Structure 1
Amino acid sequence: MKTMKNWLLTGLLFMIVSTAFSQGKITGMITDGVGSLPGANVVIKGSTTATSTDFDGKFTLNATTSTGEIVISFLGYENKTVKFSVSGGSTNLGTIVLTSNSNELSEIVVKSSVVDIAKDRKTPVAVSTIKAAEIQEKLGTQEFPEILRNTPSVYVTKSGGGFGDSRINIRGFNQNNIAVMINGMPVNDMENGSVYWSNWAGLSDVTSAMQVQRGLGASKLATPSVGGTINIVTKSSDKKEGGSFASGFGNGRNFKIQGSYNTGKLDNGLSASILLSQTMGDGYVDGTQFEGSNYYVALGYSNKSGKHDFQLTVTGAPQWHNQRSTISTIATYQQYGRNGEPNIRYNADNGYLNGEEYNIRKNYYHKPVASFNWDYKINETTKLSSVLYASMGRGAGASASGGIKGKAYSDVVAFRRPDGLVDYDKIVAYNSGTPVAIAGFPGLSQRQQIGGVYQNSSYFNTSSNIVDYNPQTNVNTSGISQTSSINSHDWFGAVINLNKKLSNTLTLDFGFDGRTYKGYHYTVLNNLLGGNEYYDNFIADQKPVGRHLTTTYDTDVQWNVFKKTDYEKISFNSTGNVKWYGVFTQLEYAKDNLTAFVQGAISQQGYKREDNFVYKTTDPLSSTPYKNITGGNVKGGANYNINEKHNVYANAGYYSRQPFFNSVYPNNRSTVNPNLTNEKITGFEAGYGFRSKFFNATVNLYNTTWNDRYLRGNPLTATPTIPANSTYTEFVGLNEVHSGIEFEGSSNITERLKITGMFSYGIWEYKGNATVNAYNQSDNTPVVGYTAATVYMDKVKVGDAAQMTASLGASYEVLTRVTVDANYNFNDKLYAGLNPVNFTSATNKGALELPSYGLMDAGFSYKMLTGKNKDKSVNFRLNVNNVFDKIYIAEARTNIFADDNLPTTSPALPGSKGTYASNGMLYNGVANVNTVFFGFGRTWNFTLRYDF
């Protein structure tokens, strides 16, 4: 018995010793081939030994066996099994790359149920997600929405080319009809639905991920998502301690510097993050210099029980930038180019003043946003998420007011130097009384004084322009000034959502969405440009005497948004008030392979207009009551996972959307539109998804009908009885149908080579004919003979966005952490923007199709690990956009065809007959009298970033 005990003790000791000697440390880093994946789960197969990666994607495991396998899993990626063998007490598995199997965002990033993020193989909507690593690497000096260029049915242009002046279309709908959400907050302008990307120029620095939900989307709010929803999720304050410094430069003397730091979550539950950046440059287009800043501060607190999580975020991007607002004809770009090629950098607003470059068109704005998020886990089945937010926008767009001898500053002849730039010195000379030669007028022109001074105003002193309320008849008295149209606002809102798990299969959301908005719209005087005073006679209480003003205001960015200045306002002064109250609910079912939802929302918008310029203060119309309009939506869908690889989904929805403010009160008057009606949007969508280890793909079919669209058109053509610019037009019964197919796919050919691609083809057309009414600008009365005129729009193509897009991209890791990538983007079926008033003939030619084009982008990345523990890094990135310097038309505003006959008296070819084609007036098959914006040529930028 004693011998047996000795053997048992010896055996037990041997096992303990063997186990001790077989223990070892396993380390490694998990990435997606582009950036690290914090929070990935790492477990030793067949055991309970597990850990998760830190903020840099690194992990450490203590193994109890010398060999085995680890299994790595991360939401949205394929699980990966890796063999290990421990020798010498430790082993480093190096960098392990996971393959994406979805467009899903990590739940580590998205905490609040206020943020409606679509989940792959669950939420039945068409969705694409761009993660922070890709935004950080590839955006470079591009505009923020341009990172979405390679997603299906998305068309992005830089428009005039000024800093932040880009715009985006989804499925043929412009950004006024695309909901943009930041951390669950709606940010579309409450008066007109616009999104001005220059106000959000700093978002790219603080975004964790950006998700595009095409179609009616997954948002529970009653948002204007006719074409889609862009969800932007910013960084939170509870990231791991660390930070970064970055500096970048590019063509056009573009320079940017940035620094950030995160405290990480402290023992007391507090956390903080801060980011500051500054950017400046000359711009690609001539005369579009810019300067912008960005600040982001986030404070967080999470209690130990995990029941409460608070996030306070303040961010803003004060900026100024010169613009290219005047759109020129192709012939004008050619005139100032070489050898018949257009000068795509030409800017008809740019010029010289006192020997220095000067542009009268300038945008300056500061729109800080503060939000307070509170997530309260009431119990295991109930969660309350709330966000309170506030925004105070301050700024304006500077332009020109008035004219000289009936000519605007941007006239193609009157004030042009031989190089095509505006001769602002000549304008100043004329304004101050010096005789000057003005093209188009014989001899020297000299200004006359009024009341002993050189008086500027908003009038051109010519019957061919807007009705002249200041009855000056001498064309030698008018002048040009720089003025700014102020569009400031105060905006407050709240979104509250209660999420209740009713059972293992049913979850109910119920919430409230409230917003209040006050927009301030008026004009101020910036520069008399040599004149002595400014005469304004637009205040009803002060007519007919008017006011003589000399005070000017600078065009600097207002950093302090709480500062109030008592401006002397000119031309117009109105305040738009919008109140929005809405409730929403959603019931979601999830069991096994089936998820389904139905949701609905109802809202009431109230519109109130105040105006003490057009109306006397005693007039009831100087302050209207609220015009309340009810709208809402209902939508539902289902997703079924056939197996681990295949899933199908479908959704449908209906929106009754309230009109925008200028539809309720047209033409800046306080009388309610008699033709007011809600716009009706009906959408259907179906899709199929495939997920495998090496290949992921999604195919979507959609159909969206947009009825009773409100659209304001251009003035009627001038006639002997209708002065130019004295009318405006509105369209009734304008309907559109947008249908199409979309494909998006990616493949990891090897661990080093990744291929991505997309294709979309749309059929976007007007449906049926509509009617147009014309009104006089002065009092909104109908123009006799132009009431309910038919416009023949049926089957006319919707313009302003490419209806066929495709892209193909590849990324290859040449050496460890050395990557090259390239992407080719192709656009076809691009039609010019339309004005339906041009379609009064049943035999119209439809929309003008522009030439197709393709662009190649390329990049190079290198990440060098530094520090004692290799836990820091220096990152190098080079981007080259439009590698082959392709010249292409990105958008057009007119629809003049090559086989159209020249006007009887053509200013281009006086006395000529025939068509534009027969007279050789073409560029790439397009009549060169069309007004267009060309896209940018080759641009590049280089960034150096240190992460610690």
Structure 2
Amino acid sequence: MKVFTKSMLAVISLSTASVYYAQSVKDTANTKEIEQVVLSGVADIAKDRKTPVAVSTIKEAQIIERLGNQEFPEILKTTPSIYTTKGGGGFGDGRLNIRGFDTNNTAVMINGVPVNDMEGGTVYWSNWAGLSDVTSAMQIQRGLGSSKLAIASVGGTINILTRSADKKREGNVTVGLGNDGYLKTLFSYNTGKSEKGWSSSFLMARTAGATYIDGSDFEAYNYYFAVGYQPNKKHDFQFTFTGAPQWHMQNYQSTIDTLIKYGSEDKPNRRYNSNWGYMNGDKMSQSVNYYSKPVMSLNWDWTIDEKSKLSSVLYASWGRGGGTGVLGSINKTSINNLPKTADGLIRFDDIYAWNQGQHVADFGADNKTPGQANRNNGFVRRSHVNSHDWYGFLTNFQHKINSNWNYSAGLDGRYYYGYHPGLISEFWGNSQFTETNDKNRPGGYTVTQSYKPVSSANPFAKAIKDKSQIASRNYDGEVMWLGTFGQLEYSKDNISAFLQGSISEQGFQRIDNWIVNQDILNPDGTVKIPQTVQQGQKVNTKTGFKYIFGYNAKGGVNYNINAHHNVFVNLGYYSKQPNNYSVYPNSQQVLNPKLTNEKISSAELGYGFRSSTFRANLNFYYTKWKDRFTRITNLTLKDQTDTEVKNIYANIEGVTEVHMGGELELSYKPVDFIEINGMLSVGDWHYKGNATGSLFDENNNPFIPKDGQSTKTLYIDKIKVSDAAQTTASLGLTVTPVKALNVFGTWNYYNNYYSVFDITKASTAQTKGALELPSYNLFDLGLSYTFTLNNNNKLVITGNIYNVFDTYYLSDGKSSIFTDEAPSKLRDGSNNTQKLTYDQLGYTYKGIATGNQVYFGFGRTWSASISYRF
């Protein structure tokens, strides 16, 4: 498409559904530069030395060579200010932070379409595990980025660009292997474009095995189908349908003490998983995640004339699945506190026997209601379903005013309905479960049907199965969104600039199918029967929509000093709507009385250098995030009559975070066969100022306690923001001794990682805040070799070793206990009556109190693959 000049391509567009673009690698004086040749659409792709944002791009070849059996986000670990880990280690359970912000505040987009969950803003990578097979490139824009949409790009934007139906004619068969029984098989084929303008792509893959963690079995599929049609130069249509159904066993954090118990003092058992065991000789886990999220999209690009173009996409997603847990107890003991095997495994066979009425000596008294479980007696495994129907559209009109000016404007509409019932997935020897939590069915009812936690092969499966068999919970969430956006761009000679803004209206509604309206509940939770409501009649359980207005504005300027040097600056301000769980907090129908938008202001300054052998980017950023939703819950206080009142809460106002730092990214190619890449990012992320909130009772009325202090203060000033390394560094070396062979190694360094700290516990000025964990270094090695066969077909072999030196390291900290604090119990289970500290007891690991809950990173792992391309 030649109707737009290169200057216009600074911030505009790429196809939103099945991106229709070409990527060329330009070699100028031995310097490789990725040049995005944008052909159509609404995704906002940054262009080097044009778009004034901090950006990094990961190419398809790098994903194929180096990802292996890692988590998809881990391909970004050599990018500045990105911290990514495997989380609990289950398949697809990895997590990612950009500049200290998690995915709730980082926009993840596929071909320009936002995919962050519309209720909570999260991104579950297990839902998108198959993306690695169809990704053509990933662009990471740190900070507010260049997207015109009103999205949660506080930390940054990750735009994943998938295969196009218009790729050249080619087939691919791949087999991949890895540690712990990992096996992947893949087949794909692209037809190329016919003379009449038709093209198609197809991919099918299966991945199965286990990860490094014990009890982490999984099975995942991936399918991708795309059809393109370009009848003439004015119109281009692209249809895409893709999905990645999967199930996997999960792992939750354990204390270091527990890992030492099943390992040793110097080498805790980093493979240990407390969630699993055996039943009748087969692996069984209390925690299984299963999900299928097929996405369908239809894109139309219309070149109206030489100056105007309209790009539109309709898309839909039908998420189906959830995660399992346990309902019930045995003699008031939870499943995690029951006696385990010598290896720390759950004794599922004994649980099965106890449920059926058999005697299990160390479980206590025998079951008095064999085969009939309820919330207080016996165990069943439940599934909490988190399904949804999501429909949306995007449309973007682009117009060239003259050789220097152009503008674009568009609409963004979305509708989301989330289904959150509960089901029974295993009765574990019981024949039924009695559910009593439905206030509309006094006396409860019996559930007898179980559903395996496996994703349906049908991408259009019903979100809710038999409504009479719901257990544990039953609520829905509904979200509506409509936004409009616009952008004005200028480019002349060495200067390019943009100014953009958007406004949006977002509506939230919560539907609780078990709890009748709050205004007909007595204080003790029983149902009032006013004249308008008859006994046994089900009343309206909808809250009604709460609509919230949001907006953003941002702009930037890039100046190319000469062919080597450029500088840029950008500024932005967001008024961001809170998510559904802030509007209706604590799983209640009560509207947050102190509902307010979050305010984000950001500024960034950047410098770039380009030469024939050396490239460098240096960025400095400052982001201020105000009015972050925070609530203190479950307080028990005495009122003015000296009566204890439970469930008091406080909505804290004025919680402010400051994220600032610098980022350096380097690439050096001294000779044709050697390339060196490096990065360094140093951040200072902390809370600024203390924050205060008023007290309320569970009926949403202001509460004045006996002491008259009707507010609660959090002393959080200067406490570090937790859960991501604030200092990261990387150095990589790629050697190409012969044209077909790449040998590469990478060193990664992480420091200033602060473990999770619950700021609602910062009740005094003496609060210590977040615990700093030890720094660590990791080394990876890999190679790839391409054999070119006689018929010009290719055989590609790859191999990777991750954590080459088998380093023990803490990748995630989930609590902040200091060594001068005292545990309540000693390791032998007795009470710590002398109040000895962790330090005094010697309960430390690398200077950390062993009572902390953590995840260890994986030890040495490996992957290999062979691909035949024809």
The question of a shared fold, defined as TM-score above 0.5 by the shorter chain, is answered with yes
Q: Distance between the aligned counterparts of 1:105 and 1:724, measured in 2?
A: 64
Q: What letter is aligned with 2:367?
A: R
Q: What letter is aligned with 2:807?
A: K
Give CA-to-partner distance per residue, 1:733-756, whole Å, 9 cap, x none.
211000000000101111000000
The offset of 1:781, in angstroms, is 8.8
Other structure's SS at 2:354 match: helix
1:416 is matched with 340
Q: What letter is aligned with 1:855?
A: L
Aligned residues, how many?
A: 823
The offset of 1:780, in angstroms, is 9.4
2:236/2:300 contact within 8 Å kept? yes
1:276 is matched with 204
Could you say if the C-alpha distance between residues 778 and 322 of structure 1 is closer, same or farther in structure 2, counting changes exceeding 3 Å?
A: farther
1:489 is matched with 388
Q: Confirm or deny that 1:603 pairs with 2:530.
A: no
2:637/2:648 contact within 8 Å kept? no
Q: Confirm or deny that 1:265 pairs with 2:193.
A: yes
1:415/1:427 contact within 8 Å kept? no
1:270/1:299 contact within 8 Å kept? yes
Q: What letter is aligned with 1:106?
A: Q
Q: TM-score, normalised by structure 2?
A: 0.91
For residues 138-537 of structure 1, what are the structure 2 equivalents within 5 Å?
138-304=66-232, 306-325=233-252, 327-338=253-264, 340-411=266-337, 414-438=338-362, 444-449=364-369, 454-459=371-376, 478-537=377-436
Could you say if the C-alpha distance between residues 881 and 724 of structure 1 is closer, same or farther in structure 2, counting changes exceeding 3 Å?
A: farther
Q: Distance between the aligned counterparts of 2:830 and 2:381, measured in 1?
A: 30
Q: Distance between the aligned counterparts of 1:722 and 1:275, measured in 2?
A: 66
Q: What letter is aligned with 1:665?
A: Y
1:463 is matched with none
Give CA-to-partner distance per residue, 1:753-791, whole Å, 9 cap, x none.
000000000000001111356777799996957853111
For residues 695-734 of structure 1, what are the structure 2 equivalents within 5 Å?
695-712=614-631, 715=634, 730-734=651-655
Q: Confirm or deny that 1:924 pairs with 2:843.
A: no
Q: Distance between the aligned counterparts of 1:339 and 1:792, measured in 2?
A: 36
Give CA-to-partner distance per residue, 1:48-103, whole Å, 9 cap, x none.
xxxxxxxxxxxxxxxxxxxxxxxxx99563425xxxxxxxxxxxxxxxxx5224xx
| Structure 1 range deviating more: 814-823 or 116-125 | 814-823
Q: Confirm or deny that 1:938 pairs with 2:870.
A: no
Q: Percent identity?
A: 47
Other structure's SS at 2:351 match: helix
2:14 is matched with none
1:100 is matched with 32
Equivalent residue for 1:115, pick from 37, 40, 43: 43
1:902/1:912 contact within 8 Å kept? no
For residues 661-672 of structure 1, what are the structure 2 equivalents within 5 Å?
661-672=580-591
1:105/1:209 contact within 8 Å kept? no
Gaps of 5+ in 1: 1-38, 40-72, 81-97, 460-477
2:59 is matched with 131
The offset of 1:425, in angstroms, is 1.6
Q: Distance between the aligned counterparts of 1:612 and 1:904, measured in 2?
A: 42
1:607/1:628 contact within 8 Å kept? yes
Q: Confirm or deny that 1:694 pairs with 2:613.
A: yes
Q: What letter is aligned with 1:507?
A: N
Gaps of 5+ in 2: 3-21, 518-535
Q: Distance between the aligned counterparts of 2:742 and 2:477, measured in 1?
A: 51
Give CA-to-partner distance per residue, 1:242-299, whole Å, 9 cap, x none.
1111101010100001111111010010000101110001221110100000000010
1:48 is matched with none
2:665/2:678 contact within 8 Å kept? yes
Other structure's SS at 1:333 match: helix
Q: Confirm or deny that 1:801 pairs with 2:724.
A: yes
The offset of 1:711, in angstroms, is 3.0
Q: Distance between the aligned counterparts of 1:774 and 1:944, measured in 2?
A: 62
The offset of 1:321, in angstroms, is 0.4
1:833 is matched with 756
Q: What letter is aligned with 1:916?
A: Y
Q: Confirm or deny that 1:894 pairs with 2:815.
A: yes
Q: Distance between the aligned counterparts of 1:503 and 1:512, measured in 2?
A: 24
1:635/1:651 contact within 8 Å kept? yes
Q: Distance between the aligned counterparts of 2:196 and 2:705, measured in 1?
A: 74
1:877 is matched with 798
| Structure 1 range deviating more: 385-394 or 420-429 | 420-429
Q: What letter is aligned with 1:648?
A: V
Other structure's SS at 2:298 match: strand
What's the RMSD between the two structures over aligned residues? 2.4
The offset of 1:842, in angstroms, is 0.3
Q: Confirm or deny that 1:947 pairs with 2:869.
A: yes
2:246/2:454 contact within 8 Å kept? no
Could you say if the C-alpha distance between residues 777 and 130 of structure 1 is closer, same or farther in structure 2, counting changes exceeding 3 Å?
A: farther
Q: Distance between the aligned counterparts of 1:713 and 1:437, measured in 2?
A: 42
Q: Confirm or deny that 1:674 pairs with 2:593.
A: yes
The offset of 1:718, in angstroms, is 12
| Structure 1 range deviating more: 708-717 or 397-406 | 708-717
Other structure's SS at 1:540 match: coil
Q: What letter is aligned with 1:207?
A: T
The offset of 1:624, in angstroms, is 2.4
Q: Distance between the aligned counterparts of 1:195 and 1:791, measured in 2?
A: 29
Q: What letter is aligned with 2:269?
A: N
1:432/1:532 contact within 8 Å kept? no
The offset of 1:670, in angstroms, is 1.8
The offset of 1:942, in angstroms, is 0.5
2:773 is matched with 850
Q: Distance between the aligned counterparts of 2:327 and 2:825, measured in 1?
A: 32
The offset of 1:723, in angstroms, is 11
Equivalent residue for 2:459, pick from 551, 561, 565: 561
Q: Distance between the aligned counterparts of 1:571 and 1:419, measured in 2?
A: 31
Q: Confirm or deny that 1:637 pairs with 2:586.
A: no
Q: Distance between the aligned counterparts of 2:822 and 2:66, measured in 1?
A: 46
| Structure 1 range deviating more: 895-904 or 612-621 | 612-621
Q: Distance between the aligned counterparts of 1:728 and 1:428, measured in 2?
A: 40
Q: What letter is aligned with 2:797?
A: F
The offset of 1:318, in angstroms, is 0.4
Could you say if the C-alpha distance between residues 828 and 724 of structure 1 is closer, same or farther in structure 2, counting changes exceeding 3 Å?
A: farther
Q: What letter is aligned with 1:592?
A: D
The offset of 1:867, in angstroms, is 2.4
Equivalent residue for 1:741, pick from 648, 662, 676: 662
Could you say if the C-alpha distance between residues 728 and 873 of structure 1 is closer, same or farther in structure 2, counting changes exceeding 3 Å?
A: farther
For residues 73-88 of structure 1, what are the structure 2 equivalents within 5 Å?
77-80=26-29
Q: TM-score, normalised by structure 1?
A: 0.84
Could you say if the C-alpha distance between residues 846 and 267 of structure 1 is closer, same or farther in structure 2, counting changes exceeding 3 Å?
A: same
Other structure's SS at 2:449 match: coil
Q: What letter is aligned with 1:431?
A: N
Equivalent residue for 2:575, pick from 637, 647, 656: 656
2:10 is matched with none
Bigger Rg over Cα: 1
Q: Confirm or deny that 1:911 pairs with 2:824.
A: no
Q: Distance between the aligned counterparts of 1:777 and 1:135, measured in 2?
A: 51
Q: What letter is aligned with 2:663?
A: E
The offset of 1:828, in angstroms, is 0.1
1:772/1:837 contact within 8 Å kept? no
The offset of 1:663, in angstroms, is 0.8
